[in-house]
Amino acid sequence: MVKIEQEILVDKLRVKMNEDLPGLSSQLVAAPPFRASLFSEEDIKVARRASVLWLMYPCEDGWEGVLIVRAPYDGVHSGQVALPGGERDECDANDLDAALRECEEEIGVRVERNKVVGALSPLYIPPSKFYVRPYVACLDYKPEFVLDEVEVSEVLFLKISKLCSEDLWREYKIKGNVVPGFEIEGNIVWGATAMMLAEISDCCRDIFIDTFES
C-alpha cells in the first residue's frame, strides 16, 4: 500500500470519528449483560479520569492495532487484555496528554499529537471506578516496542480485518458470568476493552474493508 493510499484511509477515519461516532450502539454489542446494574450517574460524576490509546498502522496484509496484557498485580485488572493507557496525572493538561504519556511509558512508543485522528465515546469501568476516554492514533509504520515490565507483560497485535469480521464475537464464562468477547493469542478480550474495540470496529469497517479484500 503506497503512502498516499494510507493517508486517504486515515483522513476518512478522522472525518468519521469527528462527525459520526456510533457510540453506545456499538459498545452494547460487547457489553456484559449485567453491566447497567453496576453503576449510577453519580458514580460517573465522581469517577477518576483515565485515558487509553488504540494505536494502529499498516502491515503486510492490511492494518493492525496494539493491545497489551496487564502484568500481574494486586488489582481488578491484573492479567487482563487492555489498550495502553492509565490514570490522568497532575502533569497532564488533558485526557489526550494522559493517553499519549501512558502509551510511551507502557510500550515505549512516542506518538505525536498530529497522529491522533480522534476520540471514541467515553466509558465508565465499574470494577476500578474509572471514567475512560479512548483515543485512536494512526502511524505509517510499525513502531518498536519497549515494555514497562512492571505494568505490561505482553504486546498483542490485532488485525483490523479480524476486528471487523462478522463472526468475531463469542460468549465466554468469565468470573462466573457469561459475557461477549473474542480470543487473541490465547487471551480473552472482554468487558470495557471489548466495548471500546466494538466501537473501533464500527468506525473502521466501511473505511478499511477494501484494504482487506485487495
- 85-119: per-residue pLDDT in tens? 999 999 999 999 999 999 999 999 999 999 999 99
- Predicted pLDDT of residue 212: 44
pLDDT level of residue 29 (50, 70, 90 thresholds): very high
Q: State the pLDDT confidence band at 39, using cuts at 50, 70 and 90.
A: confident
Secondary structure of the chain in HEC code, one letter for each residue: CCHHHHHHHHHHHHHHHHHCCCCHHHHHHHCCCCHHHHCCHHHHHCCEEEEEEEEEEEECCEEEEEEEEECCCCCCCCCCEECCEEECCCCCCCHHHHHHHHHHHHHCCCCCHHHEEEECCCEEECCCCEEEEEEEEECCCCCCCCCCCCCEEEEEEEEHHHHCCCCCCEEEEECCEEEEEEEECCEEEEHHHHHHHHHHHHHHHHHHHHHHHC
The pLDDT mean for the chain works out to 92
| pLDDT tens by residue, 54-67 | 999 999 889 999 99
Per-residue pLDDT of 172-211, as tens digits, reads 999 888 999 999 999 999 999 999 999 999 999 999 865 4
Which pLDDT value is given to residue 77? Answer: 64
Q: Going from the N-terminus, what domains does the chain have, and what CATH number goes with each? A: 3-213 (3.90.79.10)
State the pTM of this model.
Answer: 0.93
